[in-house]
A and B are shown apart, each in its own frame.
Chain A
Amino acid sequence: MSKLALIIEDDEDLANIFAEALRRVGYDVENVTDGKAAQERIRADSVPFLVLLDMHLPHISGKDLLIEMKKGERFSNTWIMITTADARLAEDFRDQVDFAMIKPILFGQLRDLAARLKPKDQI
């Protein structure tokens, strides 16, 4: 069964690159480019295996989305990876997420990292 990755990223090009990198290593990819749409998506039934969350988003910030995901148990088995260009912001959230990635994020880097991820409940 292929793993679902949810990419929450408002920059179309970056979203494309991230999606391509993840597809390369067998992920199914869903893409949302807006905070509001992202909120609706994370409230929907299917819980992704991996979430790539940009911290700068229109309408609803990445921080608020992160708080919502961390609230219940639904996302406890999901790998959460935040992406930001702000090194300080990454530092601030490092303890709350699985990966805090500072842009630029390389194609190969994301691909290799995503390839190594195993289901959380099997670790």
Chain B
Amino acid sequence: MNYLERLITISTADPNDARKRKILNILLAGTGAVSIVAIILSVYLLTTGQQQAAEINIILWGSIAMFVGILIIYAINYYYSGRVAASLFLIFLSLIFTFSDTTEQVSNGRALFVFTIPIFMASILISPASSFLFAGIISAIISWLARSIGLEPNYPAIIGFFLIAFVSWLSARSLEQALGELSIINVNLDRVVAERTQALAESLSRERIEAGRNQAILNSIADGVIVFDKNWNATLANPAIRGMLDIPIELVVQKNFRELIEHPRLAPRSRGLLLAMIEHGTQPIGFRIEWSEKTISVSAAQVYDNQRQNIGTVIVFRDFTREAEVERLKSTFVGIVSHELRTPLNAILGYAEMFKETVYGPMNEKQVNMADRIIKNTQRLLGLINDLLDQAQMEAGKLTINAQVVKTADLLESLHGLMDKSASDKSLKLTSEIDPDLPDAFTGDPARLQQILVNLVNNAIKFTEHGSIHVRLFRHDDNNWGMEVSDTGQGIPKSEIPFIFDTFRQVDGAATRSHGGFGLGLSIVKQLVTLMNGEIKARSKLTEGSTFIITLPLIIPEGISTKWRDT
């Protein structure tokens, strides 16, 4: 079938021409088949000798001539020109029709209608207008035939031929037009398809480049990255993860998070942290895990698509071993420094006290006074060291809150014990009160609460020259209590209030020298309050004084009257 299709199909640039040549080939094949049948039949009749040999001979040679003619026309059609071949074929056909019957019948009778075939075919095979040419040729043939036997040409038949030519011309023309439009549409369609294909190819290659670039970025990150889908199955991991966890990527990807954390290199405590992260859906930023000998900082972030739907989690692992080591060294260093500094200062303080207490014999007023100054300065130095150590501990995240039962009255009693002397030394009055709504005891860290109060009162004494310092413990509301320290000191300029809790900051740089301290006191207070989930605010009016108000969550231990509801 394919072979036959190839035989009749002629490929040319013009699809219209190809179509016409293909139709001609089909017609040639049909005619050729008819002539072969005629040849076979003639040969059969000649060998059987049933008919007159002369007549059959004419049919045989006529059929052979027709077959040869068809082959020649096919060759012209195939190799040279469709139009020439079609013209030859139609002339050939017309000639066959001319001699297919008696002259009378052909020019005037029943055979006339067969001439409509070449006229109609011309419009299809050559060009629409060529139907008129063939109408003319055939009219001439039948007129000549009629005259040859002394008859008038058959004019109605000639008019009929031209009418058929006209109809053929119209239909062939509209067919060609329709085909032409179709081919234009086809060309446009082809162009659009080509453009779309090109665009698609470009976007695909862009995406490939983009994906390649993202992969390259991911691959070049020194931190280990694992991407999990929303069921916590690892879908992607970068090569750095191999170096960090010392396991092949293939063992990471396609694994569920719960499987991964079963790895024996992960410390049990770290496993708990990671499990808590996925179970509670909370992702603290940068917590640490222990993996073999390594300390690894873990940061997790949820991934959302355009519709704000959670589609998974990205976890970044950073090797924190060195930093952790530095932190350990720093903490050891701080411990040593704290011990090594405090011990000699303790000795200075002790000897000065012994002088003052006349352990080594009587002293005159001036000597006692000097011993006092030694004690005071040493205590200041110790205070600074304590502040620095607290600050260092806070920065290392080591300062913790120890919740115990705190007796409200004890807080103020020990505050007075510690601070009364410092206040009276500056001729200031330190007063205090407890709001009756406040329970007798609550849960808190007594040492840290004490530290907050001491720092605030110390600060107030430092910046107050005349008047008093008042401390009040109060019930803020159902769930909160508060501490308030107010003074009658120089006050804080409004513009400075937002910065007073910053580390190493005092309102007036010169104050550091006149009042002592690095400005760490308030910063430590603020950090301690934050650590206790509380808040601190400052109110101040220049020359009239300042008030610091702290509110903290109130947790009342069992068996202690809440007071608040009792009244």
A interface residues with partner B (beta carbon < 8 Å):
11, 13-14, 16-18, 20-21, 24, 56, 85-87, 91, 103-108
Contact = CB atoms under 8 A, between A and B. Distances in A.
B447 A103 contact: no
Interface in B331-347: 335, 338-339, 342-347
Nearest to B402: A91
Interface string B7-36: 000000000000000000000000000000
Contacts of B342: 85, 103-104
A105 B338 contact: no
Interface of chain A, main secondary structure: helix
Interface of B: 335, 338-339, 342-347, 349-351, 353-354, 357, 359, 382, 402, 447
Contacts, number: 54
A86 B354 contact: no
Contact of B350 (A17, A85, A86): A17
A85 B339 contact: yes
Most chain B CB atoms below 10 A, which of A18, A56, A85 = A85
B344 A13 contact: yes
Contacts of B346: 14, 17, 103-105
Interface of chain B, main secondary structure: helix
A85 B346 CA distance: 10
27 contacts: A11-B347, A13-B344, A13-B350, A14-B346, A14-B350, A17-B351, A17-B353, A20-B359, A21-B350, A24-B359, A56-B339, A85-B338, A86-B335, A86-B338, A86-B339, A87-B447, A91-B402, A103-B342, A103-B343, A104-B350, A105-B350, A106-B349, A107-B349, A107-B350, A107-B353, A107-B354, A107-B357
Contacts of B353: 17, 106-108
Given A85-B342, A86-B339, A17 B347 contact: yes
A87 B334 CA distance: 13
A76 to B, nearest CB: 26
Nearest to B355: A107
Given A21-B350, A106-B349, 16 more contacts: A11-B347, A13-B344, A13-B347, A16-B350, A17-B353, A17-B354, A18-B350, A85-B339, A86-B339, A104-B345, A105-B346, A106-B350, A106-B353, A107-B349, A107-B353, A108-B353
Nearest to A10: B343
Nearest to A83: B346
A105 B345 CA distance: 10
Contacts of A13: 344, 347, 350-351
Given A11-B343, A56-B339, A104 B382 contact: yes
A98 B347 CA distance: 23
